[in-house]
Amino acid sequence: MDLVFATASQLARMIRDQKVSAVEVLDAYLNQIDKHNGKINAIATLDTEKARTRAEEADEALAKGENWGALHGVPITLKDTFKTAGLLTTAGYKPLKNYIPSQDATVVARLRRSGVIVLGKTNLAEMASDFQSTNELFGRVNNPWNLDYTPGGSSGGSAAAIAAGFSALDLGNDASGSSRQPAHFCGVYTLKPTDRRISTAGHIPEAPGMPKCIRQLMTVGSFARSIEDLQLCLSLIVGSDPRQPDVPPVPLDTVEAKSLSDIRIAWSDSWQKITPTLEIEQAINLAVNKLKPVCAEMECWASPPFDLQEAFQVCNQLTALNFVYSQPADFDASKKALPVMFREATQGDKQLRDLSNLSQFLPSLLNPTLKGYFEILTKRDRFIAQMDKALENCDVWLCPVAMTTAFTHRSKGSVIKIKEHKVPYFLANGGYTMLFNLTGHPVVVIPIGLSESGLPIGMQIVGKRWREMELLAIANEIDKIAGDFQYPPL
């Protein structure tokens, strides 16, 4: 077995059974990073010395019969938005270029307690705010499947690192698709949990010193090479947190074994008005055709169970109201953002621009009000209820991750050609993902194949709120039939 492409669960078992040492596993990852990170640029900061010391301590502990936890001695990486005590944490943001936190983010502390070795931090979009991954501190991340293409964003370094065998597990975040779109672009697995299921204490944004203002939409997303690893990671980082009291003490659901013959599945290969590439439609139809003979019921949904245009508008406004105070007044950031909004509002097919027009952000950004915030939250409640009701009739819903596979590097906000349409940038990338941040429903992404040009295609599997373990169990069964995880041709 090639150690760098083993799953985290496999590595944990091998280290625990002393079939391989933690030092050997670490060295395998460091060698893989040394060989390939120069061209991919997924790793922003390596912590080699501390990682080696910790690996040696892990082996010494096992020799004495001590086990630190479920991931004893397994090297992982973390998106450079999670605070790590004593290790540079920048969010790709120049004002934080020398920021070294004194305390771990809650999820980082919980993973450390499970015995992991933090190998380093992964590269990203500046302040986790783009569907590509580039910033002025560390430069651009390239897709390991084709260096001329983006790995997606904002967690592009996380997905690329897992795909390229730089790490066994990675944590990213997802506020509008930041874990799911990169997983789709890079051909790996991810979980976006239920809204407020996992603490985001110690995550940037918000920038250090700013008030806690991102209280909806943002979740912690895990990246892995198997569903088993997503299940394990969730069990280790979930739970209420004194540092973030609005994370409710809802225990993980327990699941009895289910076969696909008991599962009712809704599916969509496209939604009205936002049609993905033909290859994505074909890949989802192929997956559905594999599942039809073995599932209890398969039902085609033409679109989400609510008004798509209104949902996009509410999502855009809520995003603006959540993020407006998440960082200090920054003229450079504003200077970059306004041209992007202008391009999104003026380029591409008019019907698609009208569907999700980022100019709707501006009133909320320039003049946010408490009344406006409460009005948007009230509308959000309605969309959550509508999605909950629709999912009463099925166990999961399958749909595309984005309108496109990975695309060539380009300026933020540039139009993306899909079929005969010129699609606005944010709609092409986030049209299929951000609505599940709005409603808070959990989503798993699995790889289901490759395009003709050799780029990965993923599929979203949407589940019921607060039932992640059920969703992951169903996703695991679907993955056995329709999944197609492959390694990139490095």
Active site residues: 79, 154, 178
Closest to 217 (Cα-Cα) out of 431, 444, 439, 469: 439
Omega of the bond prior to 95 within 30 degrees of 0, cis?
no
Residue 151 has what DSSP assignment?
-
* Encoded tokens for 21: 């040492």
Closest to 310 (Cα-Cα) out of 197, 435, 222: 435
Closest to 131 (Cα-Cα) out of 322, 344, 449: 344
How many CA atoms does the CB half-sphere of 125 hold within 13 Å?
26
CA 49/CA 22 separation, integer angstroms:
14
CA 378/CA 376 separation, integer angstroms:
5
Residue linked to tokens 């939604």: 271
End-to-end CA distance of the chain: 17
Query: For the chain, how big is the Rg over CA atoms in Å?
Result: 21
CA 407/CA 455 separation, integer angstroms:
9
Residue type present at position 341: M
Max Cα-Cα span within the chain? 67
CA 118/CA 84 separation, integer angstroms:
9
* Encoded tokens for 337: 């953002």
Residue type present at position 97: K
Q: Sign of dihedral through CA atoms 323, 325, 327, 333?
A: positive
Closest to 175 (Cα-Cα) out of 367, 375, 326: 326
CA 352/CA 368 separation, integer angstroms:
26
CA 146/CA 186 separation, integer angstroms:
10
Q: Is 348 left (phi over 0), alpha (psi -120 to 50) or beta?
A: left
Give Cα separations from 352 to 141, 275, 439 (angstroms).
Answer: 28, 11, 22
Omega of the bond prior to 326 within 30 degrees of 0, cis?
no
CA 464/CA 272 separation, integer angstroms:
23
Closest to 41 (Cα-Cα) out of 4, 10, 80: 80
Q: Are 92 and 125 in contact (CB under 8 A)?
A: yes
